[in-house]
Amino acid sequence: MVPVDNLNSWAELIKEGTRHGGRTPESERNWIEPAKASPEWWQGTEKVTKNVSIVYGDREVFKDGIVTFVDKFKEGVKGEKVDIQIVEEKDGIHIASVLEAGRGLEPSEIAKIMAGGFMKR
C-alpha cells in the first residue's frame, strides 16, 4: 500500500502543475507517469525502500504502461538491494486492493498475497 503522505505529495505535484499553465512540467511528472521516467531516475531506490510491490491486471488499460515502468524500474535498481514483487492478476486492476479497502470489502486473494509479502519482510 502507498502511504497517505506519498499520495498527498503526489496530489500536490498535480495541483501545483495545474496552477502553472494547466499541466505539471514534464520534468516533474515521473511520480505520476512512471513509465516515462528513465531507468536512471529510479537509481537510489534502496535508500528509500528495500521492498516494492507492483500489481496490475492482465487486461487492464494501463497494463502496457505498467509493464514499461516495471522494465525501466528493474533496470534502474539493478545491483541495488531492492526486493521487487510483481503480480499480474487475471481480470484484475492495479488499484483493486485500494478500492476493496475503501469500500470495506473482504480482501481479494491478490491483496492477501501482497499483504503476506509485506508481513514476511
Q: What is the pLDDT of residue 2?
A: 61
Q: What is the pLDDT of residue 12?
A: 74
Residues with Cβ within 8 Å of 108's Cβ and at least 6 positions away in sequence, in order, are 92, 96, 97, 100
DSSP code at position 80? S
Mean pLDDT within 70-94: 90
Pull the grid cell for residue 99.
478500492
CB 66 within 8 A of CB 35: yes
Q: What is the pLDDT of residue 72?
A: 97
Residues with Cβ within 8 Å of 65's Cβ and at least 6 positions away in sequence, in order, are 33, 35
Sign of the CA dihedral 64, 66, 67, 71?
Answer: positive
Element holding 54 (H helix, E strand): strand 51-57
Question: pLDDT per residue over 29-64, tens digit each?
Answer: 787 789 999 999 999 999 999 988 888 888 888 899
For the chain, the structural domain boundaries read: 1-32, 38-120
